[in-house]
Structure 1
Amino acid sequence: MLTAADVYPPFGLRVVAGPLELRGLTDELLLELCAVAEAGIHDPDEMPFYVPWSTAPAGQLSRNTAAYHWGKRATFSPDDFCLDLAVLLDGRVIGAQGVAARDFPVTRTGETGSWLGREHQGRGLGTAVRRAFCELLFDHLGFEEITSAAFLDNPASLAVSRKVGYRPTAVTRKRRREGELALNQGLVLTPGTFVRGEVPVEVTGAGAVRSFIGLVPA
């Protein structure tokens, strides 16, 4: 009998690093993620995201979050995908970590993005999550380069990237909110600059995901 992971292999992906886990974003975990988003991600006066999705009204934010992830599942292909995982601490969902890639079998690169609920920020968890995720991408999913970006007024995100080993690239000018200019710092990470964590990372389910993104299983 088919399982959900047979149909959509990211559901079977699991990355464990001590008390932190990254799991394929099933509907059950997605509902928990929506609740974390509703509880708050950042100060209302701040905006860390390219698209200000986190400012949606209560209720609508959950619907938007779920619809976004359902849509990405439906259009997932090796040539254009977003691999989004739930972040759990001691079994409780606290945020999300993902990577977006185009033409991956050729480019072997993608852009990482993540967020944690406000109550879980400032504790070093973001750095630990990013390190575990980048280890997954480099060691198990065939990535040869990982990019990211953060607005210059988001020092916390830039600090996480710096600790993991990302190097700065170009600064671009972006419209962030209506009529608002923001400067966005590009970042790039390679296996040679990657700063790994001290906690061992255990990965299961990566072989099926490799096939799903157009690579031969390791």
Structure 2
Amino acid sequence: MTDFITTELHTARCLLRPWRTEDIPLVPPIADTRAISWNTSLKFPHPYGEEAARTMVSWSQADAGVDKWQFAVFKDGQLIGGCGTIRGEDVHAHTAVVGYWLGVDWWGRGIASEILAALVDYMREETDIEQLTATCFGWNPASRRVLEKAGFRNEGVRKGVVKKWGKTTDLWVYGMLL
């Protein structure tokens, strides 16, 4: 395993590196939109201000490279999103849950697929994680396509288990053996 704090993952268009304190003011201008929050857990708030960014960066730095692998995503020197994994607990400690988000201006350009592929390669080559899990909401078919392009397989659909802002939808569950 490498020293996580110095990790840099390069894709054709992006740089992924661990979150830093100096990233905090860069997050709200791209994250403060209902469109992103709509497709994420309640841990990704709307509105998304500097305090939320501070909490996220601090959280991402705790146990970084051991139980969390969280990356800021940059394109041409500009923060455009984030991605990462969180180790499972107890009998699931050999697994990790994947998450990713991009600023709305970067949707539909293949960037999510690109960064997810880099994240999967990193997890396979540099960690002891053996299996990845990802979920997406039923109203987000674009996220399903991103997961499928990266090699994740649909493992099932949990009907009506997501409730956000008064709306209910299904939760699609994906997995990948490393």
TM-score (norm 2): 0.85
Runs of 4+ in 1 over 6 A off after TM superposition: none
Moved more, 116-125 or 26-35: 26-35
For 2:113 and 2:65, the matched residues in 1 are separated by 28
Matches within 5 A, 1:140-179: 140-172=126-158, 173-179=160-166
Structure 2 unaligned residues grouped into runs of 5+ = none
- Which residue of 1 is the match for residue 7 of structure 2? 13
For 1:151 and 1:178, the matched residues in 2 are separated by 13
Greater relative CO (CA pairs within 8 A, separation 6+) = 1
For 2:150 and 2:90, the matched residues in 1 are separated by 22
- Which residue of 1 is the match for residue 41 of structure 2? 50
Matches within 5 A, 1:120-199: 120-172=106-158, 173-191=160-178
Q: CA deviation at 1:182?
A: 1.8
Conservation of the 8 A alpha-carbon contact between 1:101 and 1:111: yes
Q: CA deviation at 1:10?
A: 3.4
Change (3 A) 1:135 1:104: farther
For 1:98 and 1:77, the matched residues in 2 are separated by 11
For 1:104 and 1:138, the matched residues in 2 are separated by 20
Conservation of the 8 A alpha-carbon contact between 2:81 and 2:103: yes
CA RMSD after TM alignment: 2.5
Pick from 83, 94, 102: which aligns with 1:97?
83
For 1:181 and 1:18, the matched residues in 2 are separated by 37
- Cα shift readout 1:58-96 (whole Å, capped 9, x = no counterpart): xx5331132133134346694xx3321100112211000
Q: CA deviation at 1:104?
A: 8.0
- Which residue of 1 is the match for residue 17 of structure 2? 23
SS at match of 1:42: helix
- Cα shift readout 1:2-49 (whole Å, capped 9, x = no counterpart): xxxxxxx533111112231100101112332233213x3627xx8211
Change (3 A) 1:176 1:61: farther
Conservation of the 8 A alpha-carbon contact between 2:131 and 2:177: yes
SS at match of 1:53: coil
SS at match of 1:133: helix
Conservation of the 8 A alpha-carbon contact between 1:52 and 1:177: no
Pick from 52, 55, 79: which aligns with 1:67?
55
TM-score (norm 1): 0.71
For 2:34 and 2:76, the matched residues in 1 are separated by 20
Corresponding pairs, count: 175
For the pair shown, the structure with the greater C-alpha radius of gyration is 1
Change (3 A) 1:30 1:85: farther
For 1:41 and 1:18, the matched residues in 2 are separated by 29
SS at match of 2:175: strand
- Which residue of 1 is the match for residue 70 of structure 2? 84
The residue type paired with residue 163 of structure 2 is R
Identity of paired residues, percent? 19
- The structure richer in strand per residue is 2
Moved more, 120-129 or 99-108: 99-108
